[in-house]
Amino acid sequence: MALAVLPQVMNSFVVSLMREEDVLTDEVPRHASEKALLGYCSFHHMLLALRARHPEIGEVAADRLRRFIQGQRSKAHAPDLGQLLVYTAVTQDVRWEKLAAAVLAESHVRGVRWLLRERPLLQSAVAAEDRLRWSFEGRATSLRLLMFQAFFLRHVARPDGETLAASLARYDRQFGQPTGPQRERLLRACREILRVDGWPAVYEGLGLRAPDGQELAEELCSAVHQSLQLGYHGNPTLLQGGGSAGAGAPPERVGIRKCLREAFKDMELQRARRADGPAGACGRRAAGPAPPPGRDGPRVSRGAFAALRGDSEEGSESEVE
């Protein structure tokens, strides 16, 4: 439940920081922005505390991130990019620097569906300058969310290589709040992110090398074709949860909770196999029948997987696509 709910709540705070009306005034109202930032940090504190008590949370988060980096990037494997980014804040095994390029590339593909609603001409051959401008304008909010997450991961979640245990201890001392300098740094970062007005600043904010205009335009054009091939746009049945089987059918819409449920189940099966050792099932049979549940038999940790049972399969897409 922690990996299904808390990242979604954290993303909602970021969305409130990056509202369009704040961009128009070129300013983040301090009171509102502080409330959103403190809420975000409070839930990050909660997530770290749950991870310390249930290590499988960090293990599953790291596994999902590694799979994404290795190429499992479709919505069937990563239903919500916004939630995936939060996983980086609860594992020491995967750093933002390893994830950044893959996340931005996938966000280009997932953003096509929304871009075409306002700019259907992007499906056709258009001038590179127009493609760059229209793509940025149509995805400004989601790009700002990516930039905020990148800043938070690098400068607050684990600054200067800080361990997660040290981050949790710091939060405990601060009652779940960032330190004074961190708070001011976050506020300044939000204002700077809201003033970003082009692709070079986006890449700089994400810690990536910015391609030249023609190279980026070609990448964005390629994203349109990838989106069509994956069924992300151009097929109304995608919005209805799937269509008929066969060539050209859109992929099954997989909710974040179903995806995590399967991940926790796989992890527990792997643990069970390791616990069996070389003897395997034969060794268990030789030891006699297992005692009834609740007696003196071995206790099986159900972990966070059990907390997901019975939940709705419907996932919610964040503004990051």
Checking if the pLDDT of 14 tops 90, the result is no
Residue 279 has what pLDDT? 47
Checking if the pLDDT of 250 tops 60, the result is no
* Confidence band of 311 (pLDDT split at 50, 70, 90): very low
Q: Which of 127-141, 173-187, 212-226 has the lowest mean pLDDT?
A: 173-187
What is the average per-residue pLDDT within 277-301?
44
> What angle do the packed helices 180-194 and 30-53 form, to 10 degrees?
120
Average pLDDT over the chain, rounded to whole? 77
Checking if the pLDDT of 29 tops 80, the result is no
What is the average per-residue pLDDT within 21-37?
59
> How many helices (H) and strands (E) in the chain?
15, 0
* Confidence band of 99 (pLDDT split at 50, 70, 90): very high
Checking if the pLDDT of 299 tops 60, the result is no
* Confidence band of 23 (pLDDT split at 50, 70, 90): very low
Residue 30 has what pLDDT? 61
Q: Which residues of 112-145 are buried (b: 16+ CB within 10 A; e: fewer)?
A: bbbbbeebeebbeeeebeebbebbbebbbebbbb
What pLDDT, in 10s, does the model give residues 31-84?
Answer: 667 888 888 999 999 999 999 999 999 999 999 999 999 999 988 889 899 889
What is the average per-residue pLDDT within 6-10?
88
* Of 141, 174, 145, the residue nearest 41 (C-alpha): 174
* Confidence band of 266 (pLDDT split at 50, 70, 90): low
Residue 286 to residue 276: CA distance in whole angstroms: 13
Residue 203 has what pLDDT? 97
